[in-house]
Amino acid sequence: MSRTYPLSPMSDRFIFTRYRTDCYHCKENADQIIKAVPYQAQVACDNCGATRVYIPRIEDVSKEGTFTKIGCYDLWQLVETAPCRNCHLTGLHDLTIGCRHFTVRCRNCGFTHFYKFDLEYIAKDELKDQT
């Protein structure tokens, strides 16, 4: 059952998008920058820098909703175009982001990346001066 992923660094970018919502940390309506690569997923607030890091736990072909659990606040449900590592089609992926989990699922083949919440930090250094 070993699979190889011939990924070059250029194709490391899997999902990169923004979602505007109320930040759980600064409570402002701000862009949340969403990034996912095969080995990590991140959500960072554009306003205050609050960043949540998720690490991969499972990758599998699953039925829709298999990994969706009720989180501590509203789930974000987004649709993004991304290259699938399983069926190699660039097509629609469903993103489901909660406070404890982050899933990306290929609509074509059902291949799902399940990331679980790992840690949280405030990325002040990465922010521009906001004065």
- Residue 57: CB minimum distance to Zn ion, A: 19
Residue 23 binds Zn ion, judged by CB under 5 A: yes
Residue of 103, 50, 57, 60 lying closest to 93 (CA atoms): 103
Do 102 and 32 contact (CB within 8 A), yes or no? no
Q: Closer to Zn ion at the Cβ: 41 or 45?
A: 45
Nearer residue to Zn ion within complex by CB, 130 or 131: 130
| Residues 57-116 interacting with Zn ion (rule: CB under 5 A) | 84, 86-87, 106, 108-109, 111
The residue among 55, 70, 58, 41 whose CA lies nearest residue 113 is 58
Q: Which of 34, 41, 43, 45 binds Zn ion (CB under 5 A)?
A: 45
Based on the shown chain and the rule CB under 5 A, indicate whether residue 48 belongs to the binding site for Zn ion: yes
Half-sphere exposure of 4 (CA within 13 A, CB side): 2
Residue closer to Zn ion, measured from CB, 40 or 86: 86
**Cα–chain center distance at 46:** 15
Q: How far is the CB of 118 from Zn ion (least distance, A)?
A: 19
Q: Distances in Å between the alpha carbon of 9 and those of 12, 74, 89? A: 5, 33, 18
Select the span of 5-13, 15-23, 96-104, 123-131 touching Zn ion (CB under 5 A): 15-23
CB 76 within 8 A of CB 96: yes
Binding site for Zn ion (CB under 5 A): 23, 25-26, 45, 47-48, 50, 84, 86-87, 106, 108-109, 111
